[in-house]
A and B are shown apart, each in its own frame.
Chain A
Amino acid sequence: MKGNEALAEAAMRAGCKCFFGYPITPQTELAAYMAKRMQKNGGVFLQAESEIAAINMVLGAASTGVRAMTSSSSPGISLKSEGISYIAGSDLPCVIINVERGGPGLGGIQPSQADYWQATKGLAHGDFHLLVYAPASVQEMVDMVVKAFDKADTYRMPAMILADGLLGQMMEPVVFPEIEQKAHDKSSWAANGHKGQREHHIINSLYLTPEELERTVVERFAKYDTIKQTETDAECYLTEDADIVVCAFGATARVVKSAVNEARDMGIKVGMFRPKTVWPFPVKELQEASKNATKLLSVEMSMGQMIDDIKLALNCSKPVEFFGRTGGVIPTPAEVLAKIKAMGGNE
């Protein structure tokens, strides 16, 4: 199944009732799949007039307590950023898919990971975070969409799948898991008509008293602290005895894994660390995975963004080098291997 279609199918199986989108390469198959299937499944598919409208339709649907989703690619996510800030500020759950392409500006339509900073640090105005999952296979896209809906509801916050054009367009076999629908009770806040049975609910992100706004933000950050403790996830591959730990997320990790295997065949002690959640960043997992390493390497499809989080996680205690291609160019295993060798990996 194609990555973009798997994302759509998984979302429907996860109980997504509303999809609002706007066409943009390379995520368009997702919307097309939704258009075909969503209504048959008793859900809502609507092509909005813009990415801005689409994310605000998500805001509206999520306000009433239904599971809602939108998808786009990099320039479209920039347009959605306003709405995402309001969604975060209103404590609404939803899922946003970013099938990244090269930037800045209109950039290109080939795969990229240059929205890492945007997704994990500065998506829009104000103090807030999203849960950000970084799949590396079509199967993982399926699993992570299911998880994203569940965690978004659990924490009442937006969750993002940070994929890239490579994964979106990739065909791989997938198994759709049996999904146990956890019942999230939204009756204490959802704005879906009070029927005269309760006080009116207000979905809002405006607080004109600074102390009141501060209190809501601080409460949200207390929730983020819990998430940082409990929701991190990472894959460690041959890191146990590794002298060099290569860090990569998403599709890049597949390239890195090939390079690591080749390096191991040559007797170089190298392993790979792959964050599956990029916010929260798996700090403890990285510290553990790199405890025997003397140096690290970050490989990204960008000019180097995740490398900042790696340095922070290790408190700059070990040298971290970088190799990346950008603009839609995919790094090759040979290039990564050459970099590993250049770093003088111990045999």
Chain B
Amino acid sequence: MAVVFERPKSLCDVPLHYCPGCTHGIVHRLVAEVMDEMGIEGDTVGVCPVGCSVMAYNYFGCDMIEAPHGRAPAVATGVKRSNPDKFVFTYQGDGDLAAIGTAETVHAATRGENIVVIFINNTIYGMTGGQMAPTTLPGQVTQTTPFGRNPELAGYPVRVSEMLSTLTGVALAQRVAVDSVPHIREAKKAIRKAFENQRDKKGFSIVEVLSTCPTNWGLTPLDALKRLREEMIPYYPLGVYKDSVAGGND
């Protein structure tokens, strides 16, 4: 028998600290698989956010930098500008990327900074125990929206891929999900394309990954996947919002 599936080499052989059923681990694996397939682990520098994935520097086998909250795209800019021949990616959650780091995200995107951004959207702040995120859905109960997010009071969720797709510097803006095997395959293709864009100097590529947070949603891992499918995807439709390589906005 031959091995048909095993842990990618670019994913360090250490236990992940994430809660049971948290889909961070799936996305980590996809990024590592892409690094393996492209043979770029030794030429890649990753930048971690503040949030649940703050310790992703222990998990990816490439060189890693831990950025201040929200600043990962700026840190990545510094790395990429000084080392244009290296692959640079950030891995950020929704609080990091779409709240405190909005300016860094938007400006790295509009500069067409030749980096990859992996954006985990799980509609909540996980690390701090489940507060409202910029992506929290209307009506969603969190610690800081105990009666459900009321848009009149707390505003509306940010649709990051749609927003960034309006910027000229963006090469790829795609929303994927990791709730099922077909979607995971799609997600990996998107991540691969993002890294290939960087290799081909196409500019800023963001892959938004709809993910779960069973612990802070108060759901079992399986029910969390169900919520992702039934509540998140309708609000955050999957798809390619911009692909300048394929041509234009879709």
Contacts and interface: CB of A to CB of B under 8 A. Distances in A.
A117 to B, nearest CB: 23
B67 to A, nearest CB: 7
A50 interface: yes
A64 B83 CA distance: 8
Interface stretch (B21-29, B56-64, B172-180, B186-194): B56-64
Nearest to B87: A193
A61 interface: yes
B66 A202 contact: yes
B107 A53 contact: yes
B163 to A, nearest CB: 16
Nearest to A191: B63
A175 interface: no
A204 B75 contact: no
A205 interface: yes
Main secondary structure of the interface of B (DSSP, over half): helix
Given A49-B104, A56-B71, A44 B81 contact: yes
A158 interface: no
A201 to B, nearest CB: 5
A206 B69 CA distance: 12
A200 B64 CA distance: 7
A18 B78 contact: yes
A192 B65 CA distance: 10
B167 to A, nearest CB: 13
B43 interface: yes
B82 A202 contact: no
Interface residues of A, number: 40
Nearest to A85: B68
A60 B65 contact: yes
B117 interface: no
Interface string B109-134: 00000000000000000000000000
A271 interface: no
A174 interface: no
B78 to A, nearest CB: 3
Interface string B184-207: 000000000000000000000000
Contact of B71 (A53, A201, A206): A53
B103 interface: yes
Contacts of A86: 67-68
Interface string A194-214: 111100111111100000000
A200 B67 contact: no
Given A191-B65, A200-B61, A204-B66, A60 B82 contact: yes
A61 B81 contact: yes
A256 interface: no
A122 B107 CA distance: 30
A17 interface: yes
B237 to A, nearest CB: 29
A61 B57 contact: no
Contact of B58 (A61, A90, A193, A202): A202
B79 A64 contact: yes
A290 B18 CA distance: 60
A205 B71 CA distance: 14
B209 interface: no
A192 B62 CA distance: 9
Contact of B74 (A44, A60, A63, A193): A60
A61 B78 CA distance: 4
Contacts of A58: 78
A206 B127 CA distance: 14
A68 interface: yes
A339 to B, nearest CB: 44
Residue from B42, B45, B66, B78 whose CB has the most chain A CB atoms within 10 Å: B78
Contacts of B16: none
A191 B81 contact: no
Contacts of B82: 17-18, 44, 60-61, 64, 66, 68
A59 interface: yes
Contacts of B168: none
18 contacts: A49-B103, A50-B103, A53-B74, A53-B104, A56-B67, A56-B74, A57-B75, A59-B75, A59-B78, A60-B75, A60-B82, A61-B78, A64-B83, A83-B68, A193-B42, A193-B83, A194-B41, A194-B62
Interface of B: 12, 41-45, 47, 54-55, 57-58, 60-68, 71, 74-83, 86, 103-104, 106-107
Given A52-B104, A56-B67, A61-B78, 6 more contacts: A18-B82, A83-B68, A90-B66, A192-B45, A195-B42, A205-B66
Closest 3 A/B residue pairs (Cβ) = A60-B78, A56-B74, A57-B78
